[in-house]
Amino acid sequence: MRGCVKRWVRRRVEAVSTRGESGMTAIEFVLLTPVLFFMIFATVQFALYFFADHVAQAAAQAGARKARATADENPGGWRGDARDVVDDYIQQLGPQLVIGPDVKTLEPKANTVGVEITANVPSVFPGLDLTVHAQSSGPVERFVEDGEGG
């Protein structure tokens, strides 16, 4: 009789414990799925932003290199050459990633030239407007003969 009562109690306890938690898995799934999706989309947005930032920085550095190399021998035309190099870099590396680039050529001080880029980044989240900004400048490169002042 005692064995029979123990079995009956054990079955009742198992029935109550499984019946009480039967909907918890579905509730946990419903509550955690949006958090998981947000984390995935945030990771993608983070990657898009930093890749666009690297593309803009590489394009600014390439444009500044071209500007530094041509500003001495072509004082009026280095700006167009630098813009062309920036546009080519953006088209090669990330035309869908760097949206609407605003390219400005700079002369921060005498014998120094550079490039500044500001552009938008595609957004995964509606209403989120991200922009990247990159700037690179340096001294104008000149050929100086031996014996000349410098």
The model's pLDDT over 96-112, given as tens digits with 9 standing for 90+, comes to 989 999 999 888 777 88
Q: Is 72 exposed, middle or buried (CB count within 10 Å of its CB: 0-12, 13-18, 19+)?
A: middle
Q: Report residue 1 as tokens.
A: 């009789």
Query: Percent of the chain having pLDDT more than 90?
Result: 45
Q: What is the pTM of this model?
A: 0.74
The rounded distance, in Å, linking the Cα atoms of 42 and 52 is 15
For the chain, residues with pLDDT lower than 70 are 1-6, 8-9, 12-23, 148-150
Do residues 103 and 83 lie in contact, with contact meaning Cβ atoms separated by under 8 Å? Answer: yes
pLDDT of residue 35: 92
Report the chain's C-alpha Rg in angstroms: 31
Average per-residue pLDDT in the chain? 84
The rounded distance, in Å, linking the Cα atoms of 118 and 56 is 8
